[in-house]
Amino acid sequence: MRFDGKNALVTGGAHGIGAATCRRLVAEGATIVVADIDGESAARLAAELGPAATGYGLDVADPAAWDRLGRWLADEGPGPLDVLVTNAYTLTVQPAMELALADWDRQIAVDLSSVYYAVRTLGPMLIARSGAVVCVSSVHAVVGYRGHPAYAAAKGAITALVRQLAADYGHQVRFNAVLPGAIDTRAWDGVDQEERDRHAALAAAGRMGQPEEVAAAIAFLASQEASYICGASLLVDGGLTTSKF
């Protein structure tokens, strides 16, 4: 029960890695806010998790929405946070010269700027609680895939931002990132089996990862077991980035 008595919030918490993380943290004693732009799915997951969970509809790209969230946490929600997991993302697959400006802007806002908004809004309460922040980046931060310019730029920037936040605030709040590889979530629902098998073969482990495996890494970094880990970027990719490229 590493999170007994701790309050946590997970963005993009209703599905995939976010949902697995919510389940893991609740199982280890946390009170959780499942934050997602899909408020209905967030509420359903919270109902499944029981009284320790609350669903909250949140557009992470809207700074005003973060301000409302901060007030809600203080006035109506579970209270100040001990753990923040930034996991929300959006993706448009298109090479840079064909990518619409609006699609670039939206991906940067959701995938990267939201981390800044979260820290700006929730940082003071995390400092007061000597909390921990885990940002979900991606192997796209360190390797290139065709057609992912904004996503790669955002995920690479997250790892740099985590280092900077650790340099600025690491004596008060621990900031770390996880870099998942090919994880079997609904993002892969429209991908045919041949392509899934190709990505599985790229990993040294010879398979795709499961959301629960990333959630385990997030829970570790957020816990006191990782008390001397700060500013790190942990690959959770089955060895995808070791030798296959």
Q: What is the pLDDT of residues 103-143, one digit of tens each?
A: 999 999 999 999 999 999 999 999 999 999 999 999 999 99
- Place 61 in a pLDDT band, splitting at 50, 70 and 90: very high
Active site residue 151: yes
Question: Would you say residue 67 lies in a domain?
Answer: yes
**DSSP codes joined into one string, 201-238:** HHSTTSS-B-HHHHHHHHHHHHSGGGTT--S-EEEEST
Between CA 6 and CA 209 the distance in angstroms is 28
Question: Would you say residue 223 lies in a domain?
Answer: yes
CATH of the domain at 82: 3.40.50.720
pLDDT, residue 198, reads 84
- Of 46, 43, 56, 40, whose CA–CA distance to 25 is shortest? 46
Containing structural domain, residue 141: 7-243
pLDDT, residue 244, reads 53
Q: Where do the DSSP E strands lie in 58-155?
A: 83-86, 132-136
Question: Would you say residue 55 lies in a domain?
Answer: yes
Between CA 136 and CA 236 the distance in angstroms is 10
Question: Would you say residue 1 lies in a domain?
Answer: no
CB 22 within 8 A of CB 10: yes
- Of 226, 222, 229, whose CA–CA distance to 82 is shortest? 222
Q: What is the pLDDT of residues 191-241, one digit of tens each?
A: 878 888 888 888 899 999 999 999 999 999 999 999 999 999 999 999 998
pLDDT, residue 20, reads 98
Question: Would you say residue 216 lies in a domain?
Answer: yes
Question: Would you say residue 11 lies in a domain?
Answer: yes
Question: Would you say residue 2 lies in a domain?
Answer: no
pLDDT, residue 152, reads 96
CB 216 within 8 A of CB 20: no
Number of domains in the chain: 1
Q: Which of 56, 145, 151, 228 is catalytic?
A: 151
Q: Above 80 in pLDDT, residue 245?
A: no
Between CA 139 and CA 157 the distance in angstroms is 12
| Number of helices (H), then strands (E), in the chain | 9, 7
